[in-house]
Structure 1
């Protein structure tokens, strides 16, 4: 805004019209006192001030305005029609005036001067705003620098309290700060600790990580300045970021020498034990093979004498002792004992051969069961047994060994039947989701659960931990024939197939044997031991 100060309204009016014609907002005052009041209330870019006025003249008004901080950027143009001498012009400039014009004034010149001074006022306002913004920015940066320095001091305090070697690195890779532990491995704060000759590639790796802005972790060996011995350390250097930019890097060397030495010793011990284990395993395999050969030879050599004992006993009984009931009784007992011994040798031979590897193949269990039942036709008919077999799945098995399992289970169900009731045996199967006796049924399961259930004499479940152990019998030899090996053979066969077998029973209420088998055999993972 432009302020025109003149005691004569007829002088103010033409100046107002000229300035308003050039889009300047204009205000006016008819005395020095009124002008000072308006200057205190409003901001003016230019004041056009008449020199000759009653009361306060223009020079006095200019001196007063110069004392106002609010008007320090306001330009004053003096106008005078009377005081045109040099001394008055000089006094006008010394009073704070920017220009001194004499009347009559050239309107164009006046407008140009006002435009120039108004533009200067606006520029000064913009400069003041810029200065304020710059000052505010300086204050913000100063506070940020102080906060950063405070955090840096805290960081250094923390680093000094660490048991590790700790240091900071600037963004251009210079070491900025190190704690006291640093000097155990370096002579000064700007030299990296001496590395083992085989670890010099660490420096290149760190440089790549620094350029990429990525965390760097590596095992290194540092040379102790006093002992000249190398110790293992874990070097970790991480970037410290603020608003996405990396301010610095913080690094630590953590002493892992004890763990590393222990790990190496443990690895050597593991390697040693592995070699010993391999040697023992080879020895065990050789011994096992020898035992299999021995079992086969022994059983074969024992069968022939037993067969002769049985034949000769039968011949003596039929040809020489028909009339001696007491002798016949003794011979019958001898024949039965020979038969039991023959069965025992046969079962022992079967048990010893379970360790021999055999190929797995997809097998239809329904066909296997039908073939198996042919072997029991005479017993089934004699005991009037009823056997129900539901649809069974195709399973990848060793057919001969799973046949042994079901042969033993069906044989036991027929053998341990109640005297007053015909045997009833049911065999059913379903797919399940996992290898678990009580797993829920699942049409897409990878395992099958087969249940063999009978209505026989049963047994007390407190003996469950005994029935699958070789030579363990729950019934006396006099009541039921058997060797106590059948269920042990069944369990070992199921174990070889990666399955499970379990039993549920109550005395005089029958038994239930549950088998879980994988539908497809998967090779076991090979564990490679490092030497």
Structure 2
């Protein structure tokens, strides 16, 4: 938008008509005070400013405008009926003007100057936008690099932990074998097996994240019995965690369509997390039920819970709650993988949690997603 500032109405009218005929949006002010009030409220690309005005002259208006952050990129063209002597022109440029035109105004020349300033403004805005995007991209590279370094550090630590345990148990096993202490050998072999399973899960997660990134995470969908895989998972979890009481609510009395192994992976992740993040509780609630044309599944623990701000990011890749990262191990990719699996089943995933009272992780999956997609 262009602002014309002139105390003579006839000058304003003639300039306004010419500029509007050439496609420019125009605003007007009949005094320096009125112009300053408008500049505080609106942004202008160009101000055409008369020098000789009662009250504040054009130079004083320009000097006042230079202090406004809103108008720091606004171009000013001075118009003056006085002879264009060196002193006036010099003062015009010192006051912040970019051009100086003597009256009577040659409209063709003025139009050329206005178009030039507009072109410069558009180019400047485009350059600023490019610079902004470039800076954002650089910051995104820096953040990605930081996350990569942090992930490598965490992954190295998480992989090293079970490896160190396995090495230690094997050394103890050697001593037990030498003593022919079969009972101790069996107990320590079980501990080695537990650490190998942890290592296996970590490697599986790393492979899955790689497949997600490359778009190669495969799904083999077919109809399967949800209750049967849930029974099987709970049985295994009960054997591995005899002190935990699993309270099951509801059941799914129909087959569902999906990748059985991947859905099982999500369920195991939910239950494992419920046990892991509720070390002082021995109770886990598992709910499964049919709701209309979809199934609902949730796992509820009574552990530390998750604050609201963390709940918004808990499914982000590599996200770990800082307050618990030292106390509880993990790569920060399990829930991200779960989200990918559920979304690939046309379902949704979420969390309900209160700090200090526990968390409930849940997902929903359509019973017949291939039919929903066709309808």
Q: TM-score range by the shorter chain?
A: 0.3 to 0.5
User: Of the two, which has the highest radius of gyration?
Assistant: 1
Structure 2 length normalisation: TM-score? 0.45
Structure 1 length normalisation: TM-score? 0.35
